[in-house]
Amino acid sequence: MRLHPPIAIVLAVVLSASALLFAWPGSGARAGGDAAHGRALAGTRCAACHGADGAGGAPSVPRLAGQDADYLYRQLQAFGDGARASPVMDAVAAGLSERQRRDVAAFFAARSRHAAAGPEDALVDEGRVLFLAGGDDGRVPACADCHDAGKGGFAGGMRGMHGMAGMPMMGLPARHAPRLFGQHAAYVEQRLQGFTDGTPEALRMSAMAASMSLQQKRAVAAYVASRP
Ligand code: HEC
Ligand code: HEC
């Protein structure tokens, strides 16, 4: 399902308006940010849409909790300088200083995602095969080559020589690939449908997304969303 952006925003605000308390204290010094400073910022500027601890929100608003701090920071940079387009996030990110981007990234990265395992069905099964082994025709690579390595997804076996977690793939260090497990399926599908991020990393991801069928996108989105 794709929500019209303004509707999605209103929904997000309404759904998470009551989520005013933070989950628990924690410090995340990754990406050089100060999570304690990030917490205050997150409460006033991000919580309405992403949830106070980054775990909530409408299906089209990504979960930020437990996401890689460096990835979060780079996305804020991309929104801020126009490399990644979003009518909502461009303005939000433009209003943050360099320091604030690092702090808020550190805060959300240190939260727990709290995702529960979702139901298994044929679509999830199809997505699992694609995620772990790639497409039959060799056009779509195994997502596990870069994403969620070591989180029970897999780290190198099924594709044998084609990829190993932590090894540079196509010139990309795998550690920069964002976490997909526990993400909203609708957001993952939406992102695969339209990569607008102009970073070199995302250009490669765009090429991969372009070679996926709609059915494959749906399946892999259902699979990652079903993973805790
Ligand atoms: C009005 C709602 C709203 C507010 C407020 C908001 N966001 Fe977002 N955010 C979104 C939406 C919607 C997206 C998805 C954008 C897209 O891909 O088109 C998003 C995407 C993101 C992403 C990309 C995540 C990913 O997985 O790629 C990051 C990072 C992010 N937001 C951080 C923040 C931070 C930090 C704040 C507070 C300083 C914030 N957002 C405030 C709605 C919001
Ligand atoms: C060669 C490594 C690599 C492979 C293989 C790969 N990705 Fe990615 N992916 C990345 C990187 C790096 C990014 C972050 C791009 C950026 O920095 O903007 C990314 C970003 C994404 C995002 C955006 C996440 C978010 O939070 O917004 C999605 C969704 C995604 N990939 C899905 C997939 C799927 C599905 C597959 C398998 C069909 C796959 N990727 C295969 C490296 C990879």
> Alpha carbon of 29 to those of 37, 102, 105: distances in Å?
11, 9, 9
Residue nearest to atom 41 of ligand 2 (CA): 143
The predicted structure's pLDDT at residue 210: 86
How far, in Å, is the centroid of ligand 1 from the Cα of 205? 19
Q: How far apart are the C-alpha atoms of 205 and 202, rounded to whole Å?
A: 5
The predicted structure's pLDDT at residue 22: 30
Using the CB atoms, write b or e for 149-184: b if 16+ within 10 Å.
Answer: bebebbbbebbeeebbbeeebeebebeebbbbbbbb
Sequence spans of domains, the chain: 5-109, 122-226
The answer, yes or no, to whether any atom of ligand 2 lies below 6 A from the CB of 33, is no
**pLDDT tens-digit readout, 21-41:** 232 233 333 458 999 999 999
**pLDDT tens-digit readout, 74-116:** 999 999 998 888 889 999 999 999 999 999 999 999 999 877 7
**pLDDT tens-digit readout, 139-181:** 899 999 999 876 544 443 333 333 343 344 444 445 578 999 9
Closest atom, ligand 2, to C-alpha of 224: 35
Residue nearest to atom 8 of ligand 2 (CA): 205
CATH classification of 122-226, choosing from 3.40.50.2000, 1.10.760.10, 3.10.300.10, 1.10.10.10?
1.10.760.10
Higher pLDDT, 13 or 216: 216
Same fold, 5-109 and 122-226: yes
Residue nearest to atom 25 of ligand 2 (CA): 178
Average pLDDT, the chain: 79
What distance lies between CA 180 and its chain's CA centroid? 5
Higher pLDDT, 220 or 1: 220
Q: Which CATH superfamily is domain 5-109 in?
A: Cytochrome c-like domain (1.10.760.10)
Name the amino acid, one letter, at 126: E
Which tokens is 109 given? 């990265």
